[in-house]
Amino acid sequence: MSKTTILFITQLLCGIGHVQTDVEIHKTEIKSDPEALAQAGNSITLTCSVTSVATSRLPNQITYRFYKGSQKNVLLNTSMIPEPKYSFTIQSARATHTGYYVCVVNVGDQTATSGNIYIEVTGQIQRPRLTIQPMKVIVGNEIGLSCDAAEEIPPLDFTFYKYKNGKPSPVGQKGTNTNFVTHTLKVTETTDQVYSCKFKGRSLATTSTYSEPVTITVQDPFSSHLFTIEPQSRIFEGDDFTMRCTVQMSSLVPSYTKVELTITKGTTPIAKSVTGEAKISKKATADDTGLYTCHAKWKETLKILEKQVTVAVPVSKPSLRSTAFNSIVAQGDCLHLTCAVVRGSWPIIYTFYKGTPENSLYRSILNATAGVYTIPSADTADSGEYFCQAENNAGVKHRSERSQNININVKGTKPMWLEYHIPRILAFLLLFIICCYVHVKYRKIKRRKIVKQQNQGSVKENTVAVYSKVKEKAHPNEDKDYVNIPSSKGTGTDSECDCEMN
């Protein structure tokens, strides 16, 4: 420990309570040797001087403090002496010594600050050194990075880098008034293995080179992650099948750690577990066909495995349909026969037959639930019974189903004149039928009218005859053309006659 430091501590412990107040500071000044420009490796001497007036008989103790930075960023030296001038020497200057310097003087209870001086030091900046703890981690853990530039003078700005595909990318930046800095970083991927750092003096235009790269060991938290489906080969409808999603954790993960496992079909979760295994066992159906995923999640780490499940389904009995109306098609027209199934795993073989199973017309293998056979121009020879057959390999054995038979009748083409005149003939016949109906109806109505008139005339004649006979009996001497019926009540016979006339 230097004498000035001992003197300063003694002053603080013994006489700080008797500071002299009868002091006046006139001027404080700082100078450097060499001035303004220095070479790296050489020394730099900073001198701080003060002009003051003291009326006390006791000598004044003066405290000198040297700072780097116009804002007094870094304290370089503190000394207490009774002299009005003090020098501080930087033994081996470095490029990071470039910057502003200032000194502060305390005399008694008076404080004064000098003006700033700027010194530029030419030379190379040292290469920093990077250390990392721990060196073995798993994804999701944190690591501590420490970048050290022990020979450089602060303030310094440090930047940390992570390498991906051999290229560095910044992952953190810190400024400090020391010549080292630490940074905490979370490992997010298994590729986060190589790191480095560099720094820059705040008064420098250039930065240091990258530190020596440091490689750590990053382990996947899941030492194994499996998604198995049994049976492994093709699954048939009605089979027992099992899906398992399992995971084993890395030895760096605590044994009590729980990992979340989920089996999903599409986007729908169908099984969950935190015991290290998620499992589904069931009878296979056609609806079980689809894409399944196994999710393993721990903290921010998520692993996904996918499996496609296809449940083979035997073909159903096919149905055969045609474009013929009422099973009749005109000669020369196009005829389509469609063989369709309701269910069945692809590929499906469709075969069309006429008459017998030995007479195969057309065969196709399709990833579809229907096959089509086309006769572009039907002929009378195409008349007959047709059927189809659908088959696939959706079971232990080959599955084949036959449709019902349908009958197709191809009619010959009609003569052109007949096709031209048939509508006119039909129209004439319809008009003739209507005319006949109207004529018959008219004759019936006319006949009824004549009969009615005849009936009415007969009744009138009968009435006149009866009346004449009655008159002759009542008035035998009167003229037959004279008619006089008394209004007074007559005999019962007259009365009855009168009623009949009325």
Per residue in 243-293, pLDDT (tens digit) is: 999 999 888 888 888 899 999 999 999 999 998 899 999 999 888 989 999
What is the rounded CA–CA span in Å between residue 183 and residue 171?
10
Q: What is the pTM of this model?
A: 0.51
CA neighbours closer than 13 Å in the CB half-sphere of residue 368: 10
Instruction: Give SS3 for 450.
Output: helix
Domain chopping of the chain, boundaries: 3-122, 129-219, 222-312, 319-411, 429-502
How far apart, in Å, are the Cα atoms of 469 and each of 18, 138, 500? Answer: 184, 144, 14
**Which CATH entry fits the domain spanning 129-219: 2.60.120.200, 1.20.1250.20, 2.60.40.10, 3.10.129.10?**
2.60.40.10
Class of domain 222-312: mainly beta
Extended beta strands in 69-153, E state: 74-81, 85-90, 99-107, 110-113, 117-122, 129-133, 136-138, 142-148
Say whether 319-411 and 129-219 share the same fold: yes
Q: Which fold has domain 319-411?
A: Immunoglobulin-like (2.60.40)
Per residue in 15-51, pLDDT (tens digit) is: 444 444 566 788 899 999 999 899 988 999 999 999 8
Q: What is the dihedral of CA 177, 180, 184, 190, to 10 degrees?
A: 140
With cut-offs at 50, 70 and 90, classify the pLDDT of residue 425. confident
Q: Which fold has domain 3-122?
A: Immunoglobulin-like (2.60.40)
Per residue in 291-348, pLDDT (tens digit) is: 999 999 988 788 999 999 988 888 999 999 999 988 999 999 999 999 999 988 889 9
